[in-house]
């Protein structure tokens, strides 16, 4: 992606530290310059719904803080010291060594240093995540790959009920924690044993060790993680279901559950029973919104625009079109989607519902988003679902806005999720609360 970036919505490969932090009792050991970890924490946790330091994040992250000395003489000895100290001091079950730009540019052989420890049976893995190597999404995949390749062994037996779920990129998706818990509950409804790997009560290192024992892997994401699914299939023979988007609302979630059940070979009768109960509840509450949505006398948003990663742009567009009957304007995908995955995303967006599709711009640059939004021939008040960067842009267009991707500095996010049946209701509440709040102010 050869572009300057204004208003960044994701960061560099070293953002992988946040993926490590999402694994219970896993500890990132960062071999990088003195400010890298703090900046990424600020960007992806603090200024992204104020998600918190967690067990060993923020200022607790062990780091070599490489300086001039290491740049000139090399930093391998410094890394060795850091690892020794961390093993003595830090109370963790899995250690993940990550490099930053400095270590990668000066050519430190971090892998060799880490091997010295791994050979002794210490649970430690290594990933080269120098910032210039790619985006937050790339860094996330690099860490998953490192753990799978260096930490996992083939399973003695397969658990026919176990599914590993791969969906949100932790911290990059401000709602990752709630989303994963929601997906877990939904899939448990099918009678599956669900391994979500990240977040509260996900099982930490033991859950990761159990990855090869799964009957199948379930990837809920347009493209991030596809190569990890292939790796797991190749390495452990585990089949995978690639479900290309986060299910939001009744229609999408029911479809998701049917697909997962079919893949898992779950009896469809029980599945339909579960779906029926969930759908009835969803449409009960949707009906409650009808009076407001049909009779609100002031300005409801006309066209919607989503500026987010492919994960949310697709999911939110599908939900708004199919569940609320909204009309799309133009969409933006900010995650530097690799070229090979774009045609599928473009065609999914072009065909959201019979006769309803939307165009899309792939760009990580907020400046381009702003320019195209201003150039769009708005006839009604737009709804812009993006980040806290976009508040002025939306206000300038007299539109409405909801922050869904980083940075989120206008909301505190705890366990909120937009996934599933109840996630759809949350999204409706949040969009129209933003509308009402602005109408109250003016």
Residues 109-168 close enough to bind other proteins by CB under 8 A? 130-133, 135
* Adjacency order of strands within the sheet including 94-99: 26-31, 94-99, 124-127
Q: Which is nearer to other proteins, 79 or 144 (CB)?
A: 79
CB of 78 to other proteins, least distance (A): 9
Closest CA to 312 of 301, 324, 304: 304
* DSSP alpha helix (H) spans, 193-248: 204-209, 226-236
158: helix, strand or coil: coil
Is 13 among the residues that bind other proteins (CB under 8 A)? yes
Tokens of 356: 């309803």
Q: Which is nearer to other proteins, 135 or 164 (CB)?
A: 135
Is 289 among the residues that bind other proteins (CB under 8 A)? no
Is 67 among the residues that bind other proteins (CB under 8 A)? yes
CB of 404 to other proteins, least distance (A): 15
Residue 96 has phi, psi (to 5 degrees) of -125, 115
Q: Which is nearer to other proteins, 91 or 287 (CB)?
A: 91
Give 157's DSSP letter. Answer: S
CB of 48 to other proteins, least distance (A): 8
Is 22 among the residues that bind other proteins (CB under 8 A)? no
Is 53 among the residues that bind other proteins (CB under 8 A)? yes
Burial class (CB in 10 A: 0-12, 13-18, 19+), 432: buried
User: Rounded to an integer, what distance in angstroms lies between the CA atom of residue 119 and that of residue 350?
Assistant: 52
CB of 122 to other proteins, least distance (A): 14
User: Rounded to an integer, what distance in angstroms lies between the CA atom of residue 59 and that of residue 434?
Assistant: 34
Is 373 among the residues that bind other proteins (CB under 8 A)? no
Is 422 among the residues that bind other proteins (CB under 8 A)? no
Is 249 among the residues that bind other proteins (CB under 8 A)? no
Is 241 among the residues that bind other proteins (CB under 8 A)? no
Neighbours of 17 (CB within 10 A): 27
Contact by Cβ (8 Å): 337, 361: no
Q: Which is nearer to other proteins, 46 or 285 (CB)?
A: 46
Is 34 among the residues that bind other proteins (CB under 8 A)? yes
Phi-psi region of 321 (alpha: psi -120 to 50; beta: other; left: phi over 0): alpha
CB of 253 to other proteins, least distance (A): 31
Interface with other proteins in residues 337-366 (CB under 8 A): 364
Q: Which is nearer to other proteins, 233 or 409 (CB)?
A: 409
User: Rounded to an integer, what distance in angstroms lies between the CA atom of residue 182 and that of residue 73?
Assistant: 49
User: Rounded to an integer, what distance in angstroms lies between the CA atom of residue 186 and that of residue 161?
Assistant: 14
Q: Which is nearer to other proteins, 84 or 398 (CB)?
A: 84
Each as own residue / partner, the long-range contacts of residues 393-396 (CB below 8 Å, 24 or more positions apart, any chain) are 393/369
Q: Which is nearer to other proteins, 17 or 179 (CB)?
A: 17
CB of 108 to other proteins, least distance (A): 12
Stretch that binds other proteins, among 55-63, 116-124, 261-269, 397-405 (CB under 8 A): 55-63
User: Rounded to an integer, what distance in angstroms lies between the CA atom of residue 416 and that of residue 414?
Assistant: 6
Pattern 391-410, other proteins, x by CB under 8 A: -x-------------xx-x-
């Amino acid at each position: 992606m050869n572009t300057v970036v204004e208003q960044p919505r994701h960061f560099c490969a070293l953002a992988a530290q946040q993926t490590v932090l999402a694994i219970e009792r896993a500890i990132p050991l960062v071999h990088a310059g003195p400010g890298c970890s703090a900046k990424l924490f600020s960007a992806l946790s603090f200024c992204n719904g104020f998600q918190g330091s967690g067990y060993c994040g923020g200022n607790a992250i062990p780091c070599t803080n490489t300086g001039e000395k290491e740049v000139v003489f090399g930093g391998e000895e410094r890394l060795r010291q850091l690892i020794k100290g961390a093993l003595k001091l830090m109370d963790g079950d899995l250690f993940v060594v990550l490099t930053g730009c400095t270590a990668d540019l000066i050519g430190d052989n971090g892998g060799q240093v880490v091997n010295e420890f791994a050979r002794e049976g210490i649970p430690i893995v290594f990933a080269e995540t120098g910032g210039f190597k790619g985006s937050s999404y790339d860094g996330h995949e690099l860490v998953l790959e490192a753990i799978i390749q260096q930490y996992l062994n083939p399973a003695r037996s397969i658990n026919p009920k176990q599914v590993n779920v791969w969906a949100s990129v932790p911290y990059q998706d401000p709602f990752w924690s709630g989303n994963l818990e929601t997906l877990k509950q939904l899939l448990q409804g099918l009678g599956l044993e669900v391994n979500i790997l990240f977040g509260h009560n996900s099982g930490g290192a033991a859950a990761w060790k159990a990855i090869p024992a799964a009957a199948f892997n379930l990837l809920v994401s347009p493209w991030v993680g596809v190569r990890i699914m292939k790796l797991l299939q190749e390495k452990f023979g585990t089949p995978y279901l690639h479900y290309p988007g986060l299910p939001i609302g009744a229609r999408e979630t029911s479809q998701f559950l049917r697909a997962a059940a079919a893949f898992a070979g779950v009896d469809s009768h029980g599945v339909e029973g579960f779906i029926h109960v969930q759908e009835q509840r969803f449409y009960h509450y949707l009906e409650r919104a009808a009076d407001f949505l049909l009779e609100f006398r002031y300005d409801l948003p006309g066209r919607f625009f989503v500026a987010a990663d492919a994960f949310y742009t697709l999911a939110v567009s599908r939900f708004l079109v199919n569940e609320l009957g909204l009309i799309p304007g133009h969409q933006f995908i900010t995650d530097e989607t690799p070229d090979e995955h774009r045609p599928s995303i473009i065609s999914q967006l072009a065909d959201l519902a019979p006769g309803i599709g939307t165009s899309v711009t792939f760009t990580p640059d907020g400046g381009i988003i702003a320019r195209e939004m201003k150039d769009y021939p708005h006839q009604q008040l737009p709804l812009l679902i993006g980040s806290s960067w976009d508040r002025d842009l939306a206000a300038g267009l007299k539109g409405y806005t909801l922050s869904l991707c980083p940075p989120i500095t206008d909301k505190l996010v705890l366990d909120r999720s937009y996934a599933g049946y109840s996630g759809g209701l949350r999204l409706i509440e949040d969009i129209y609360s933003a509308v009402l709040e602005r109408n109250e102010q003016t």
